[in-house]
Structure 1
Amino acid sequence: MLERDVELFIEHCELKGLSKKTIGSYEQTMRLFIRFSNEQGIVQTEKVMHMMVQNYISAN
């Protein structure tokens, strides 16, 4: 699931020693993308396609 993958990514960022501000920014961006993905009916990371990411970036 996308939510779990975001949690794992955030944990990875923390282990790398990134600043709280950077991690917060990454997390906020990822949560907004998850919302967009859910609206598109995509709830699994494996279903995210390049074109979907481009559409998200273009819309924002």
Structure 2
Amino acid sequence: MGKIIEEKGGKWGKSGKKVGKKKKNIKNVEIKRKKKKKCKLEKKKIGKKEKKKDEKN
């Protein structure tokens, strides 16, 4: 559920609604989302490498 709320926050910022009063907060949310996405990609890459090693063995 937490992820969905964060995504909505980003969409609100892009659409131009709710901006102005909380510009700083929206920027922080977007930065946090980017960091989380990078972590997920790194984990996926590591998982694929491990699977390839298992197949060779």
Query: What band does the TM-score fall into relative to the shorter chain?
Result: 0.3 to 0.5
Greater share of helix residues, 1 or 2?
A: 2
Higher relative contact order (CA 8 A, sep 6+): 1
TM-score (norm 1): 0.45
Q: Which has the larger radius of gyration?
A: 2
